[in-house]
Each structure stands twice: as structure tokens, then as C-alpha cells.
Amino acid sequence: MILKVCGITNQEDSAAAIAGGATAIGFNFYPRSPRYIQPERAAEINSAPGVRRVGVFVNEDRARVEEIARIASLDVAQLHGDEAPSDYPASIAVWKAARVNEGFDFAQYDHCPAEALLLDAPAAELYGGSGKTFDWHLVSATARRIILAGGLDASNVAQAIALVHPWGVDACSRIESAPGKKDHKKMTEFLQAARAALCS
């Protein structure tokens, strides 16, 4: 079960996320993101045993992904660009992000070697998410591990989980006070609601 808080940029938010029950924290290494963090800074942010450290990348060179993974002690590369399996890093797990819209077809990922698919809303050029939800009814039954993202917070995560039955959920902008700064109350409420729904 994955309870992920993405867009971590400081130690205080990391500690609060983990105290609230997060099982994964995300660092955004896409330079155009308002939540971008340098790998060396991410390396200084402590997590906890058993909490997965996830790096968000967009069309990054495989060798660079592996280098950043070493620097920042990542467990997972979350790939949001046009990466093919041949671009996946060999040293860590991969979560492949996909934007869900009308006509979305899981068949295109039938042979995808990623550990999980992270499903998000279309966001034009805003790789990594827009903070908007998508129509969860578009997610048909699939044997793939699904991590649900896109506009989630305490107010809607239980409904989303009930419809999609994902392996995990991922939140970012809806639990912030500003880009890259988490609202600890909203974050904790999201994590509590998500855990209760995933465990029910």
C-alpha cells in the first residue's frame, strides 16, 4: 500500500508526512517544476526506514536518472515523459506516469516493465501533474498496480479509492499552502482518509 506525498522540498514537510503515515515521499527533479529540488538538497532530507524515496523525472537521460538516484538515495524513479522501457534505469524500480483522458487504453502498457502505473490528469505542458482530478470511471479493471494521482485530498480520496481500488495514492498541490510547502493539517487529513479507505 502506497501513501505518497510528492513535491517534498524540506525536512519539516518530510518529517510531518512520515509522522502522518506516508509510506513514500517524492522529490521533483524536473527543472521547470515549481517544486524542483536539487539532488544534493534532496539527499539532505531524511526519511525513515521503510519509506520509499521517489524521484520525479521528465524525459531525463537514463544515466542522469541513475546518477541522481545514487546522490539522493532514491528507491523509485517516477517517469512522466515519453520514456520507453529502454530508457528505464536499471538500478531502481520505475513507476510510469500516464495521463488519463477519454479513450485511455491500458493495452499500451501490457508489456511495460514498470512496477506500477501512476495515473494522473492531463496537464498540457505541466509535466508532473496539475492538481486536477480526472474521471476515475475511465480506469477500467486492470491487473496492473495502479497509483492514483491528480487533485487528491481528504475530501475526495475515499471516493477515488472506492472507484479505482488502487495500490496507492499520491497527493501534492491540494495539500500545500504554497508550491513546495505542505499544509501539515491538510496533509495529515489526506493521509488519514487515504489509509482508512485503503484498509477498509
Report the alpha-carbon distance of residue 24 to residue 51 in Å, rounded: 5
C-alpha grid cell for residue 126? 505541466
Report the alpha-carbon distance of residue 193 to residue 155 in Å, rounded: 8
Give the distance from CA 145 to its chain's centroid: 13
Q: What is the pLDDT of residue 144?
A: 82
CATH value of 2-199 in 3.40.718.10, 3.40.80.10, 3.20.20.70, 3.30.450.40? 3.20.20.70
Q: In sequence order, what DSSP letters do the residues of 109-145 get, joined into one string?
A: GTT---SEEEEE---TT-TT--S----GGG----SS-
Residues with catalytic function: 6, 120
Say whether pLDDT at 182 is over 60: yes
Confidence bin at 105 (pLDDT 50/70/90) = confident
Q: What is the pLDDT of residue 179?
A: 92
DSSP one-letter code for 173 = G
Confidence bin at 157 (pLDDT 50/70/90) = very high
CB 69 within 8 A of CB 39: no
Say whether pLDDT at 124 is over 60: no
Q: What is the pLDDT of residue 126?
A: 52
Please, what is the average pLDDT of the chain? Answer: 92
Q: What is the pLDDT of residue 127?
A: 54
Report the alpha-carbon distance of residue 131 to residue 1 in Å, rounded: 22
In angstroms, the Cα distances linking 31 to 17, 28, 36, 107 are 23, 8, 6, 31
pTM summary value: 0.94
Measuring CA to CA, which residue among 33, 43, 39 is closest to residue 11? 43
Percent of the chain with pLDDT over 70: 94
